[in-house]
């Protein structure tokens, strides 16, 4: 499973410039007006536009996104059997995913790896994270 922390930001371009200056490399084919994918030697960072200043009240909050090569339904079912309550599986432009709270109430996002959608250039006008 691959881990991608996601930082919610107010301005994708400004945040992208900052993290690129810090030393991360942008994956331009996976960047849109609402998302940027930045990579470094030790991992990656996703930048996602926040709807407004109150979308994420904790300015230090980072969402953990896991991408599984396995079946999303099996992963969600395993969590359900263990007593957790994953959301319905949603289908977005970037692929299918669900969210689930960890024991401290933090939301974790689990994406399904989809080779057909990897490195596609796409424009997202609105995503479920903004709703």
From the first residue on, what is the mean pLDDT of each consecutive set of 10 residues in the chain (131 residues)?
A: 82 85 84 85 84 59 79 91 94 88 80 66 47 47
Structural domain containing residue 21: 2-130
Q: Distance from first CA to last CA of the chain, Å, rounded?
A: 27
CATH number (domain holding residue 102): 3.10.180.10
The SS3 of residue 65 is strand
Q: Is 57 left (phi over 0), alpha (psi -120 to 50) or beta?
A: alpha
Cβ within 8 Å of residue 20, ≥6 positions away: 26, 38
The C-alpha atoms of residue 72 and residue 79 are separated, in whole angstroms, by: 11
pTM of the full structure: 0.62
Number of domain units in the chain = 1
């Amino acid at each position: 499973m691959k881990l991608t922390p996601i930082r919610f930001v107010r301005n994708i371009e400004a945040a992208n410039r900052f993290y690129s200056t810090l030393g991360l490399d942008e994956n331009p084919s996976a960047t849109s007006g609402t998302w940027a994918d930045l990579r470094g030697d030790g991992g990656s960072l996703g930048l996602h536009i926040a709807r407004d200043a109150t979308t994420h009240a904790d300015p230090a909050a980072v969402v953990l996104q896991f991408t599984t090569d396995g079946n999303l339904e099996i992963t969600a079912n395993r969590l359900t059997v263990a007593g957790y309550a994953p959301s319905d599986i949603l289908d977005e432009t970037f692929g299918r995913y669900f969210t689930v709270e960890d024991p401290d109430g933090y939301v974790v996002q689990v994406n399904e790896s989809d080779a057909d959608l990897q490195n596609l250039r796409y424009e997202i006008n609105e995503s479920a994270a903004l709703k």
